[in-house]
């Protein structure tokens, strides 16, 4: 049985999704301020690695723990409405790339499963 990563189209699909996703996140006045001081090319690479791992790809995620990585953002006010907006941008990205609805829902379920970690709860 193919992994979600493979069903999405593998590395090239994840790379395309990450690039389009960050275009949406950075264009949104609600979410953009949280990325203002980041090295965005590095952030995109981290996101690709995380998504590949989270969706069952062959890559091992070597980034920081989600709770630790997002704690400074939580201190700046990151909350549920921001998490929901980011998830919405991911949904819109996957739909724009022509990903089938059942696969989009599986991706969003995985993203939703880390809400507590991202929001340091």
Range 2-7 contact pairs with CB under 8 angstroms and sequence separation of 24 or more:
3/55, 3/56, 3/57, 4/55, 4/56, 4/103, 4/106, 4/107, 4/110, 5/52, 5/55, 5/56, 5/57, 5/58, 6/56, 6/57, 7/103
Give me the residue label for tokens 């919405």: 88
Going along the chain from its start, the domains and CATH numbers come out as 4-118 (1.10.490.10)
Average pLDDT estimate for 28-32:
97
d(CA 4, CA 71): 28
Predicted pLDDT at 104? 95
Question: Residue 44 in contact with residue 18, Cβ under 8 Å?
Answer: yes
Task: Quote the DSSP letter at residue 89.
Answer: H
**pLDDT, tens only, 79-121:** 999 999 999 999 999 999 999 999 999 999 999 999 999 998 9
pTM of structure: 0.90
**pLDDT, tens only, 44-84:** 988 898 889 889 888 776 767 888 889 999 999 999 999 99
Predicted pLDDT at 109? 95
């Amino acid at each position: 049985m193919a992994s979600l990563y493979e069903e999405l189209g593998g590395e090239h699909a994840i790379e395309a999704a990450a690039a389009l996703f960050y275009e949406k996140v950075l264009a949104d006045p609600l979410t953009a301020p949280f990325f203002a001081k980041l090295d965005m090319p590095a952030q995109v690479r981290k996101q690709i690695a995380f998504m590949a791992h989270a969706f069952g790809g062959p890559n091992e995620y070597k980034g920081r723990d989600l709770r630790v990585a997002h704690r400074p953002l939580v201190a700046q006010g990151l909350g549920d409405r921001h998490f929901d907006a980011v998830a919405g941008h991911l949904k819109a990205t996957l739909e724009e790339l022509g990903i089938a609805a059942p696969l989009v829902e599986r991706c969003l379920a995985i993203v939703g499963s880390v809400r507590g970690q991202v929001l340091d709860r």
